[in-house]
Amino acid sequence: MNKFIVSTSFMLLIVFLLSSCESPDPNVGTTGKDELKTLEIDHAIPKSEQKFKDVVYVPIYSDIYLDQQNQNLLLSATLSIRNTSYEDSLFVSKIDYFNTAGTLVRSYIENSISLPPMATVNYVIEQNDNTGGHGANFIVGLSARNKDVKPLIQAVMIGQNVNKSFAFSTDGYSIMKK
């Protein structure tokens, strides 16, 4: 009976240690909810109030070629959407992630989100997520009540190879401004 208790306790300890090694989701905030879900609004913004409307293409590099043998190095990527207005909210209606072939991998929001003045929302594609490939991208749909807003949308990629780390960023480009 004593061996059974010891072996059961040992197995429980192993399970606990393995589960505690799991890295937390970087997109879950302090409330325990997905960061994008906490910013969702429950009503549509009337088109008549949307003085600014834009669709932004943001290149993402989920992996890069490491050497002449075409070995890939997986990268983590952070999409950053920044409202640079002191006074006006920015509304994000679409955050879609596409792979190298141009196939939609996932849509990150179902309902629009409201980004308050001077606020930022980030979303992380983890390093082990290779669904995007070397030519991945985001399409971000934006609107605002003020036609003079100038949001800043970027991606930051981070990688590590042996004892060297690196980071670089890409800027979003407007592909349909109204």
**What predicted TM-score, i.e. pTM, was given to this entire model?**
0.78
pLDDT digits (tens, 9 = 90+) for 39-74: 677 777 777 778 899 999 999 988 777 766 667 788
Please tell me whether residue 4 adopts helix, strand or coil conformation.
Answer: helix
Q: Of 10-14, 26-30, 162-166, where does mean pLDDT reach its minimum? A: 10-14
The b/e string for 164-174 (b: 16+ C-beta within 10 A; e otherwise) is eeeeeebebee
Domain ranges of the chain: 2-174
Please tell me whether residue 74 adopts helix, strand or coil conformation.
Answer: strand
pLDDT digits (tens, 9 = 90+) for 88-118: 999 999 999 999 999 999 998 888 899 999 9
Are the C-beta atoms of 44 and 114 separated by less than 8 Å? Answer: no
